[in-house]
Amino acid sequence: MRYLRDKIVIVTGAGLSAPANLPIQDKILKEMTEPPEENIIDSAMDKESVKFLSAYIQVAIYLLREYAADIDVKKIIERYKRINEIYRSNNRVLEIIDFIGTNYNFKAEEKDFNLIDVLSDTGKRFYLEPDEYCNELMLLREELREQLQKADIQICLEDIFTLFDKCITMKDNTADYTYPEIDNLQNAILRLFTFYFSNKVISHAYDKSDYLETIRYIGRHAGHIAVITTNWDILLEEYFRKNGIDFDYKFNSPYVIKSDGKLYPDADGSSSLRIPYIKIHGSINWFRCLKCGTLQICDAETCGKYLFDDSEEEKCIKCGQKAEGDAVQIKPEIITPTMMKLLNSQLYNNLWQNAAYELQQADKVVFCGYSLPLADYEFRYLLKQNIRSGTDIDVVLYHNDDPGRCTDDNMINFLPEKRYADLFPNSKCRFCYEGFGEYFAEENKRGK
Ligand SMILES: [Zn+2]
């Protein structure tokens, strides 16, 4: 009889979310150009959120300006500015009086014109109802969407995001944008990421056998298994929740709260069976207050709308600070791999330390849908430093990564298998190319 069971660590990457059609970072742009009838935005909300539309418009204008030289967006930019000016104008009385004077001839007697007509004409020019404002933005969004589709820009939003990260760290300006504008744009992109990701997560049916086998495997090994992921989405934790599997993000911090204001995690007796679930690049349901630094964890239903609900003020539950005007109060806590080394944050220090600890204990590491990309330089280093030599390593990928199925000899060295063999020369790597669903189903059947 064995008293100590082997410790297993599962490392997951983008490939794990692919069967759920989650918008992997580089697919977000495609989501942005989907026609409205198929667009998840429309099915997710009855009336479109002004906050969402503003984020969309800002990002779309940026993309067209920077990556589609043949499309002229000047008029759209002017219109967007004008709509905002009108909507936000509270102190334009003088301009309004001037307008009336010019258009309705001040010298005329009051009886010469109908005051109601004057006011209604003037109102049309100087005042936008919130609904009209939203409609104007929707029209603008649609126009930009068509232009984006036409421009067929082939850029990964994650690259742009990284570029902004760098500008912001260096407090740099780019040719067309000032530093504060870059900061705004980065926030708009972050918000679009959380929006598209969480909508897909909410609309997922949670009945896919691939995932059910995976969490069954994890559940069977509770107490001696941990999961580390580079993904931002919250698909796996939703499967955990719906199947009664207890997990812990392992923040090691007393400054994390849930959306009900209570501390995360709950203190109860089951903690030894709680699955450590360590998200080394952050998560779309984590939000940081820019005033007090508190991290807030949202559930799937609320996190996509959290930053886009016009009826609710953007407000920190802990310190009560509200966002003023267009200012950003709550920021999604997600980072790109390139930012890792520039960042010295307590949150990521704790998460990465916990990941290192789990890897040091591992007798077996299962990589799932993780291609060991070179861009994840810091994470590769962490793996290399902490996985003991001789540890069993299973690498679970799909057909398209299989060297045996690759017809182009030149491509073989660019497939993940080569990167794994190079990084772990002293471990026995076993490669499976039938997908993680197959892999875990097989392990579950064998009682492994
Ligand atoms: Zn706060």
Q: How confident is the prediction along the chain (448 residues), in pLDDT tens digits per residue?
A: 445 679 999 999 988 888 887 766 667 778 888 876 544 444 444 567 888 888 899 989 988 988 888 888 899 999 999 888 888 765 566 677 777 777 776 665 555 566 677 777 777 777 777 788 888 899 999 999 999 889 888 777 777 777 777 777 666 666 677 777 888 888 888 888 888 888 888 888 999 999 999 999 999 999 999 999 999 899 999 999 999 999 999 998 777 888 888 888 776 545 678 999 999 999 989 988 888 888 989 877 776 666 777 777 777 878 888 877 666 778 888 887 766 666 678 899 999 999 999 999 999 999 999 999 888 889 999 999 999 998 999 999 999 899 999 888 888 888 999 999 999 998 889 999 999 999 999 999 998 8
How far the first Cα of the chain sits from its last, in Å, is 15
User: 315 C-alpha vs ligand 1 centroid, how far in Å?
Assistant: 8
Q: Residue 124 and residue 105: Cα distance in Å, rounded?
A: 19
- How far does the centroid of ligand 1 lie from the alpha carbon of residue 62, in Å? 30
The whole-number pLDDT of residue 1 equals: 41
Separation of CA 6 and ligand 1 centre (Å): 42
Measure 235 CA to ligand 1 centroid, in angstroms. 27
CA 176 to chain CA centroid, Å, is 25
CA 40 to CA 48: how far, in whole Å? 11
362: left (phi over 0), alpha (psi -120 to 50) or beta: beta
What was the pLDDT predicted at 191?
Answer: 83
What letter represents residue 130's amino acid?
A: P
Please give the structure tokens belonging to residue 2.
């064995």
What is the whole-number distance in angstroms between the Cα of residue 234 and the centre of ligand 1? Answer: 23
For residue 301, the one-letter residue type is: E
Please give the helix or strand (H or E) that residue 421 lies within, else none. helix 416-423
Q: How far is the CA of 291 from the centre of ligand 1 (A)?
A: 5
Q: How far is the CA of 298 from the centre of ligand 1 (A)?
A: 15
Q: How far is the CA of 323 from the centre of ligand 1 (A)?
A: 10
Ligand 1 center to 196 CA (angstroms): 25
Ligand 1 centroid vs 284 CA: distance in angstroms? 18
**Residue 305: its H or E element:** helix 300-306
Distance CA 313, CA 306 (A): 10
Centroid of ligand 1 to alpha carbon of 328 (angstroms): 12
Ligand 1 centroid distance, CA of 436 (Å): 40
Write the single-letter amino acid at 32.
M
Task: Please tell me the distance between residue 322's alpha carbon and the centre of ligand 1 in angstroms.
Answer: 9
Identify the residue whose tokens are 């810091």: 378
Residue 56 alpha carbon to ligand 1 centre in Å: 26
pLDDT of residue 220: 94
Name the pairing type of β-strands 330-334 and 282-289.
Answer: antiparallel
Compute, in angstroms, the gap from residue 380 CA to the centroid of ligand 1: 34
Q: What is the pLDDT of residues 333-377, one digit of tens each?
A: 888 776 666 667 889 999 999 999 999 999 999 999 999 988 888
Phi (first) and psi of residue 432, to 5 degrees: -125, 130
Residue 330 Cα to ligand 1 middle (Å): 8
What is the pTM (predicted TM-score) of this model? Answer: 0.83
Q: Which helix (H) or strand (E) holds 166?
A: helix 157-169
- Consecutive H or E run containing 257: strand 256-258
Q: Ligand 1 centroid vs 29 CA: distance in angstroms? A: 32
Distance CA 165, CA 193 (A): 15
Q: Rounded to the nearest whole angstrom, what is the distance from the C-alpha of residue 295 to the centroid of ligand 1?
A: 8
CA 120 to ligand 1 center in whole angstroms: 43
Triad 368, 369, 374: Cα angle to 5°:
110
User: Helix and strand tally (H, E) in the chain?
Assistant: 18, 11
Integer Cα distance of 18 and 376 in angstroms: 19
CA of 177 to the centre of ligand 1 (A): 29
pLDDT of 273 reads: 83
pLDDT score, position 250: 92
